[in-house]
Amino acid sequence: MVYDKLMTIKPMGDCAITLKFSEDINIDTHLKIKSLSEYLDKNPFKWMVEYVPSFVSLTIFYNPLEVIKEFSEKSDIPFNIVKSQIEKVLSKLEDKVIDNPKIVEIPVCYGGEFGPDLSFVAEHNNLTVEEVIDIHLSFENRVYMIGFAPGFPYLAGMSNRISTPGGWQLIGRTPVDLFNPQSESPSLLKAGDIVKFKKISRKEYYEIKYSKEEKILKWA
């Protein structure tokens, strides 16, 4: 079962409940969150408004009035009722989740006006610019969650060989939109996907950006 006594289940205000699966960001925790997410997609509670997965937790937003309406025979607060229902689901889910991620290739133009911090990353790690690019291209990066801005993916899996202090560094840019509000699935990437980067030239960048028929990626 996915439920673990070390996992914490706490209220987040009076309309949400947060399930924290671990203190550490790792693939096992990610797969447990993915398992619950997939279950909620297929079997949404009547009182559930939405759910939000993150690196180590999943928050479910609910309508307290709908909870009371569905469980009118229970003289308990909505949070306790919701917690009990979720624990029943967790007890049924399998620990071993089948991991069959979608692989998405993202074209990137590195350096120049597209990557003003590329030289800094290279110098900080005693590498050449090309070595930084090669390292960045060599890894498969898993999408752990979407947030901050529409379609913005949080990735894990990159090498510490190109790590830097001070937060994010701009080393390249993709011509592909990660979010398209006109699409049936607005976000190109989803939690669980694998991202592979592909190096392109400046010319290719603009060809893709202004192409009327973008064929490199298909929306999910």
Question: Is residue 137 one of the residues assigned to a domain?
Answer: yes
The verdict on 127 and 82 lying in the same domain is no
Beta strands in the chain (DSSP E): 8-11, 16-20, 48-53, 57-62, 103-110, 141-146, 153-156, 172-173, 194-199
How far, in Å, CA of 54 to CA of 77, rounded? 26
How confident is the model at residue 171, as a pLDDT?
97
Average of pLDDT values for 50-78? 93
> How confident is residue 2, by pLDDT bands cut at 50, 70 and 90?
low
**What is the average pLDDT value for the chain, to the nearest integer?**
90
Question: Is residue 1 one of the residues assigned to a domain?
Answer: no
- Report which DSSP code applies to 95: S
User: What's the Cα-to-Cα distance from 146 to each of 10, 53, 149, rounded to whole Å?
Assistant: 22, 8, 8
The verdict on 82 and 126 lying in the same domain is no
Question: Is residue 217 one of the residues assigned to a domain?
Answer: no
> How confident is residue 39, by pLDDT bands cut at 50, 70 and 90?
very high
Q: What pLDDT digit, counting tens, does each position of 84-112 carry? A: 999 999 988 876 667 789 999 999 999 99
The verdict on 41 and 12 lying in the same domain is yes
Q: Which residue has the higher pLDDT, 151 or 212?
A: 151
> How confident is residue 73, by pLDDT bands cut at 50, 70 and 90?
confident
Burial 83-93 (b: 16+ CB within 10 A, else e): bebbeebbeee
- By mean pLDDT, which of 106-110, 134-138, 150-154 is the weakest? 150-154
pTM, 2 dp: 0.80
Report how far Cα 30 is from the mean position of its chain's Cα atoms: 9
How confident is the model at residue 99, as a pLDDT?
79
Q: Which residue has the higher pLDDT, 75 or 9?
A: 9
Number of domains in the chain: 2
Does the pLDDT at position 3 exceed 80?
no
Question: Is residue 12 one of the residues assigned to a domain?
Answer: yes
Question: Is residue 219 one of the residues assigned to a domain?
Answer: no
Name the residue range of residue 114's domain.
103-209
